Structure 1
Amino acid sequence: MLTQFEQTTGCEDTIRARLRILATTDLHMHILPYDYLSDRPVDGWGLTNTAQLIADARAEEPNTILLDNGDFLHGTAMGDLVVEQYRAASGADGPTLHPMIAAMDHLGYDAATLGNHDFDRGIEVLFDAIEQAEFPVVSANTIVRRAATPLQDATLLPPYTVLNRKITDSTGVERCIRIGVIGFLPPGSLKFGHNSGTAPQIRDIIQTARSFVPYLKARGADIVVALAHSGLGDDTHVEGMENALLPLSRVAGIDAIVGGHSHQVFPEPGASMVGPDGLSDHLNQVPTIVPGFWGSHLGVIDLDLAHDGVRWFVASGRATLRKVTGAEDSGVAPKAPRQFPNWVQQLHESTLNHMRTPIARCTKDLDNYFALVGGDRATRLVQEAMMAHAQQFQADKPGLVLPVLAASAPFKSGGLAGPNYYSSVRAGQMTLRCLSDLYVFPNELVLVRATGAYLKNWLERSASLFNQVLPGERAVALKDDGTPGYLLESVLGLTYKIDLSQPARFTPDGAASGSSGGRIVDLQHKGKPVRDEDEFLLATSDFRACGGGGYPPVPEDRIVAIPPLAIRDVLKGYVQRVGSVDVPADPVWRFAKVAGASVRFKSSPAACISRAHYPWLPIRCVDMCDHQGFAHYEMEL
């Protein structure tokens, strides 16, 4: 019987070899397995844990490369401390390398691309870090000057790299292979308010790939690996789409894809098939991995290669994920492995001391366990701080007299991050850790002149993450597990209802659904209906204002110019001025009644204690702990 190679090549003496591609994505500065927001060690993530998976995978296969798919520089309190304090220090007071770059160098990464959050602290901070990396960082569609074609664009970084490597074939002979690695950043994901310079432009992923991939092949690349900081998305290509892995997989010449950005996991355990090829680990016959986030998974693509006398080509491939395992809440403080620099441990301890600094007190527990059903004191405090800052700014601008609103979302909302990943601040002393727990990203405040029509469209996009529920249906899943809860924006200053019996105007990814109706009803401001032509001053984040998360981007002429300021700094200043924080419990929004219907949703088991904070929510617990550790709740509509 012919082997798979012989069936492909038609020749029994074809030269054969294997190449293993290892990949991480969305590390977000999680070097150590520690949750600084809840101040506890964990075992389910952290690059020091992923490092063991990397070592094991390399030991199994000598022909191996290691890649990263972006969003590695920022996302933890340790990363913030590096930017705010260690970069300001010189000489022996701070590390000469960014800690994540140093960790990646020690693990021997071969190449990486950028994610949108790598720009969160500005281009200067980004380049200070990556210019010292011992591996190339590439991005083909991040441009500083657009030309007639992608190949003629002036790119911020090299669009691709070609790794010249030696691999051992099946007979033990070393042979040369040229591996092209190209990177892509998701359009519409960069923020407005960087601290240095203007944000670069992002060209469409598919348009860029169609130009560069044939070019890479013509330049002698045997295989091409696409590092696409992008989620699976819809199968149909729409120019500028943020999550584009499915259409990218149809670009001829791509041999393997690494995805990310959306914090998804692919291939999913137990999945039977995806797409027309009928393979659970392929997208349109291209082996693909999306290896979670924070180092939770290591992606592994094994390519079986054959040589036709001129170059290597892929005969077949397999894609798998290896999950970091360990008992949550181990209670054991993490230690950096020997291969990591000694000052990683010192930086960890400095971060803990910094985060434990007291700044105010709160009179009530603040949590977002029930954010998906309208009970969310944690996000309410963030919105109050944003609103207060906007009102103060407006008071100094006599010509800017508009009703002030504030929009934010529950960024810590369980999901793939697990049942402990919710914001929870107990009554009593508030520390810097509490503020980071309430608002996890270094987004900047943006003020928008928003019409009533724009706000209703904004809220329709928010309500699109929920499933439709018809009268009489019981225990319908409120949302799909793969749809992140942090897409749920609410707007303080308005009151409204969400009618789940109506079809959503958008898909969960933010694309138009084709439905002409809507779910937002009884939209009011101070008891009066909001008209399409009404104008408001909306405080939001630069990420949302530029269309992040599939929200309608704000036209530049509707942005009010303000000095750059991080929302966490807005929150810190607000609670310090207030001194004693007392957040009201009344809802910003509710679900409209659907006769005889109920919904079922997941949250933390700790949410049971918080039900009393939201007496208007008709909730009961139906399962205290499923196989993932989530509690299940049912609510009457």
Structure 2
Amino acid sequence: MLGFRSHYSSRRNLYLREFVNSRDSLSLLFVGALLKRILSLAVLSAATLAGCSSQPQPNVTAQLRVLETSDIHANVMDYDYYKGKQDITIGLARTAAMLQAARTEVTNSVLIDNGDLIQGSPMGDYFAATHKDDNFDVHPTHKAMNTMDYTIGNIGNHEFNYGMAFLEQAIKGAQFPYINANVICNVDCGFGKNQGENLFTPYQIIATEIVDNNGDKQQLNIGYIGFVPPQIQLWDKQNLTTENGEQRVKVLGIVEAAQQFVPQMKAKGADIIIAIPHSGLGSSANPMDVEAENATYGIAKVAGIDAILFGHSHSVFPSQRFAAKAASHQLDLDKGTIAGVPAVMPGRWGDNLGQIDLTLSRINGQWQVTNSQAKVRSIYKKNEQGQKVAVAEVEHHHHRSAEIRTSVAAEHQATIAYVNAPLGQSSADMYSFLSLVQDDPTMQVVSNAQIAYAQKHLAPELAELPILSAVAPFKAGGRHSTLADADNYTQVAAGPLTVKSAADLYLYPNTIVALKVTGAEVQQWLECSVNQFNQVDPNSSKPQQLINWNGHRTFNFDVIDGVSYQVDLTEPSRYNAECEQVSDGNRIQELSYTDTNGNQIQGDALASKTFVIITNNYRAFGGSFAGTGNDYIAQEFPDMNRDAVASYIKAQQGKAVDPRADNNWSFKTINSNTTLDLRFETQDSDVAAQFINQNQQRPMTKVGQDELGFAVYRLDLQ
């Protein structure tokens, strides 16, 4: 480890940091750590940064490699805690090996993390559960990252999942600064901030020593600015609201904040500006939308931004996954640009390292990007036998992986012990291989647990109403965009259940919320949910893909238990992924509710009936689906959905949980004289094949394997 760091200290940049907001006490937290790893630190005046000199500077050219990690989600180890074995497709430990390869190839480089760091794996859950608020020194993710010489970090939306005190303490342990430009302190926000101040340092300008193409040293003032989706106010409302119901923070739109601060950065002497939005590509129709969760295309339109490191969507850019959007979003997938701006997004969980190579030219005293090439570097590949194997760079620098593993060895062993604590038994397998095409045991057990929780904890006036439960699959093939996604399925076998079983069934640390809705709103909620599927042409014999992977995230495919319904795939989707109406289609058919007396309620009687739906805080406060948003909140609970699952399993008192699906929803039979070839993707494994064979509700036949390693099945709906 020391050898690695001293190797780079001989040629790494000398940093002079300007703390751009004199009110920003958070920056001071980093000074002590920075002094240990840099040769000099000084606060520069704007005039100094501007490089005022009476002597003209010669025209020169230099190369700068900009490297990015994003959406690590506490996956420090290359280890699958759910399966209890090594996983070569994930882990910052392996990304570190690729990082060393990338750095040794060039003279000048910087490394940035784009957030969603401290939550999302069993290690993150273990650490948050056993280290409340601020009773720890260094988070395990930062133990690893502090050995990797990061330049700067950005805040992701999941950073707020464990509360403000936990986040503030986590940041203190990082030996690099954090930035965010669009979260503003309102009241009781912590971080030593007052109302109206940026909660974090909005941007930093770092005077970086580089070596030009002639071998001469030059100073390049690199500006970094970060952003987070405004939706954190909804997704983490319980952590961002005071006991009196006041918002702790306010959040500017991503593009709005960029337009405010980028000119300041240029005025204070930033030679180039690197934007770090924790945000996906976004819409080309309204790129300047201040409410946009995904706003990277809008960021590319902001004058003065020279490169973009984005994330949040867990996708890989540049890649052919974005080919359909190349024209509308001005994408060059060969060079890796968005509207002419170099950009990269490196997947998730450490499976890729993002890389942008910039050619910089100083012309008449002004630095500018004159050429670029962006790409992602995967930590693994498929060999000729179709097996996933480490790439050569990771194998060559395996000692770096070993050093990362050593840095979190204690937390790793503690996580293994944590996830293996016993809970109970299951009478049947809980696999999510079919969760997108039929009712599913992994969602059924969560729904059962949520209803059981509600029956105990609902306020009396709500307990008298019919209780429904909304659940979505969290592990159902990921985004169908990388080789690793083919392994991203919940797999809890029949038999003993442990804490890791509950974590596998419910991935996120969401909290339970009850909504009060009508039957009409239930129907429209479901109409948006089934945008998960492509429309079927009943007169075409060509292969038709059922799953709308690109247009709808699987974690937004809600199944609502307590009602019965069918899905007519020959109808167009009524809504898009944002639940905006795009057609008059009516896919939800035969929606009904059966009361405790056995009476079936449908039609107008159902539409006017009032229900309670149990869901999570992410969905409840989101406001996109019908029946969600502040106006529909009936009761908030302090407990996590995952804890409700664990409690439900424990409550069986020695009896096995029965997770078998009740098949309350299904696809409607398609009547056609044409033989249809309807296809869906799922995991390609013996376990999956056996489960499908034993549990299929409709005839399913395997027809092949796609380029990502998913099995492709034909589904008979006729």
What TM-score do the two structures reach when normalised by structure 2?
0.80
For residues 361 and 74 of structure 1, what CA distance do their matches in structure 2 show? Answer: 27
> For residue 489 of structure 1, what is the aligned residue in structure 2?
558
For residues 627 and 341 of structure 1, what CA distance do their matches in structure 2 show? Answer: 32
For residues 570 and 264 of structure 1, what CA distance do their matches in structure 2 show? Answer: 31
Q: Determine whether 1:17 maps to 2:58.
A: no
SS state at 2:380 partner: coil
Following superposition of structure 1 onto structure 2, how do residues 111-510 of structure 1 map, counting pairs within 5 Å?
Answer: 111-145=152-186, 153-189=196-232, 190-194=235-239, 197=242, 198=247, 200-237=249-286, 238-268=289-319, 274-275=326-327, 277=330, 279-280=332-333, 281-325=336-380, 337=401, 339-340=403-404, 342=406, 344-394=408-458, 397-398=460-461, 400-414=463-477, 415=480, 416=482, 417-474=484-541, 475-482=543-550, 483-508=552-577, 510=578
The amino acid that maps onto 2:218 is R
The amino acid that maps onto 1:561 is Q
**Residue pair 2:68, 2:346 contacting (<8 A) in 1 also:** yes
Count residues with an aligned counterpart.
611
> For residue 619 of structure 2, what is the aligned residue in structure 1?
544
TM-aligned CA distance change 1:329 to 1:268, over 3 Å: closer
How many angstroms does 1:192 deviate by? 2.3
The amino acid that maps onto 1:467 is N
Per-residue CA distance 1:285-339 (angstroms, 9 max, x = gap): 01111110000100001111111333311112111100011677889xx998454
Aligned equivalent of 2:683, options 582, 599, 604: 604
For residues 329 and 50 of structure 1, what CA distance do their matches in structure 2 show? Answer: 16
The amino acid that maps onto 2:452 is A
The amino acid that maps onto 2:185 is V
**Residue pair 2:240, 2:249 contacting (<8 A) in 1 also:** no
**Residue pair 1:41, 1:330 contacting (<8 A) in 2 also:** no
Per-residue CA distance 1:325-371 (angstroms, 9 max, x = gap): 1677889xx99845437451122122112212221111111111111
Point out the more displaced range, 424-433 or 47-56. Answer: 424-433
TM-aligned CA distance change 1:73 to 1:335, over 3 Å: farther
**Residue pair 2:222, 2:271 contacting (<8 A) in 1 also:** yes
The amino acid that maps onto 1:259 is F
**Residue pair 2:516, 2:634 contacting (<8 A) in 1 also:** yes
SS state at 1:419 partner: helix
Q: Tell me the percent identity.
A: 32
SS state at 2:107 partner: coil
Q: Indicate the RMSD between aligned Cα atoms, in angstroms.
A: 2.6
For residues 400 and 107 of structure 2, what CA distance do their matches in structure 1 show? Answer: 26
**Residue pair 2:522, 2:626 contacting (<8 A) in 1 also:** no
> For residue 3 of structure 1, what is the aligned residue in structure 2?
none
Point out the more displaced range, 438-447 or 182-191. Answer: 182-191
Unaligned stretches of 5+ in structure 2? Answer: 1-57, 188-194, 391-397, 595-599
Unaligned stretches of 5+ in structure 1? Answer: 1-12, 147-151
SS state at 2:274 partner: strand
Q: Determine whether 1:47 maps to 2:92.
A: yes
**Residue pair 1:368, 1:376 contacting (<8 A) in 2 also:** yes
How many angstroms does 1:557 deviate by? 3.7
For residues 540 and 390 of structure 1, what CA distance do their matches in structure 2 show? Answer: 10
TM-aligned CA distance change 1:289 to 1:329, over 3 Å: closer
**Residue pair 1:470, 1:594 contacting (<8 A) in 2 also:** no
TM-aligned CA distance change 1:357 to 1:195, over 3 Å: farther
**Residue pair 2:74, 2:119 contacting (<8 A) in 1 also:** yes
For residues 279 and 579 of structure 2, what CA distance do their matches in structure 1 show? Answer: 15
TM-aligned CA distance change 1:202 to 1:636, over 3 Å: farther
SS state at 2:487 partner: coil
Aligned equivalent of 1:586, options 635, 638, 662: 662
For residues 587 and 556 of structure 1, what CA distance do their matches in structure 2 show? Answer: 31
How many angstroms does 1:194 deviate by? 2.6
TM-aligned CA distance change 1:323 to 1:615, over 3 Å: closer
For residues 496 and 137 of structure 1, what CA distance do their matches in structure 2 show? Answer: 48
TM-aligned CA distance change 1:466 to 1:335, over 3 Å: farther
The amino acid that maps onto 1:603 is T
SS state at 2:332 partner: coil
> For residue 129 of structure 2, what is the aligned residue in structure 1?
84
For residues 258 and 180 of structure 1, what CA distance do their matches in structure 2 show? Answer: 13
How many angstroms does 1:86 deviate by? 4.3
Point out the more displaced range, 439-448 or 277-286. Answer: 277-286
How many angstroms does 1:481 deviate by? 4.2
The amino acid that maps onto 1:572 is A
**Residue pair 1:335, 1:345 contacting (<8 A) in 2 also:** no
TM-aligned CA distance change 1:491 to 1:626, over 3 Å: same
**Residue pair 2:622, 2:629 contacting (<8 A) in 1 also:** no
The amino acid that maps onto 1:529 is Q
TM-aligned CA distance change 1:278 to 1:371, over 3 Å: closer
**Residue pair 1:299, 1:321 contacting (<8 A) in 2 also:** yes
For residues 552 and 180 of structure 1, what CA distance do their matches in structure 2 show? Answer: 42
SS state at 1:459 partner: helix
The amino acid that maps onto 1:74 is Q
For residues 621 and 249 of structure 1, what CA distance do their matches in structure 2 show? Answer: 43
TM-aligned CA distance change 1:74 to 1:523, over 3 Å: same
**Residue pair 1:116, 1:186 contacting (<8 A) in 2 also:** yes
**Residue pair 1:43, 1:326 contacting (<8 A) in 2 also:** no
SS state at 1:22 partner: strand
For residues 264 and 569 of structure 2, what CA distance do their matches in structure 1 show? Answer: 49
For residues 553 and 23 of structure 1, what CA distance do their matches in structure 2 show? Answer: 39
How many angstroms does 1:399 deviate by? 5.8
Aligned equivalent of 1:560, options 627, 634, 651: 634
> For residue 629 of structure 1, what is the aligned residue in structure 2?
709
The amino acid that maps onto 1:353 is A
TM-aligned CA distance change 1:612 to 1:564, over 3 Å: same
How many angstroms does 1:241 deviate by? 1.6
The amino acid that maps onto 2:639 is L
For residues 549 and 585 of structure 2, what CA distance do their matches in structure 1 show? Answer: 25
For residues 540 and 303 of structure 2, what CA distance do their matches in structure 1 show? Answer: 45
For residues 501 and 415 of structure 2, what CA distance do their matches in structure 1 show? Answer: 14
**Residue pair 2:133, 2:166 contacting (<8 A) in 1 also:** no
Aligned equivalent of 2:650, options 576, 584, 589: 576
For residues 525 and 110 of structure 2, what CA distance do their matches in structure 1 show? Answer: 43
> For residue 9 of structure 1, what is the aligned residue in structure 2?
none
SS state at 2:565 partner: strand
The amino acid that maps onto 1:591 is F
SS state at 1:58 partner: helix
> For residue 394 of structure 2, what is the aligned residue in structure 1?
none
Following superposition of structure 1 onto structure 2, how do residues 30-109 of structure 1 map, counting pairs within 5 Å?
Answer: 30-86=75-131, 96-109=137-150
The amino acid that maps onto 1:260 is G
The amino acid that maps onto 2:220 is I
For residues 620 and 214 of structure 2, what CA distance do their matches in structure 1 show? Answer: 57
Per-residue CA distance 1:28-74 (angstroms, 9 max, x = gap): 00001111122221101100100011111111122111001110001
**Residue pair 1:162, 1:221 contacting (<8 A) in 2 also:** yes
How many angstroms does 1:513 deviate by? 5.0
For residues 341 and 681 of structure 2, what CA distance do their matches in structure 1 show? Answer: 34
For residues 562 and 546 of structure 1, what CA distance do their matches in structure 2 show? Answer: 11
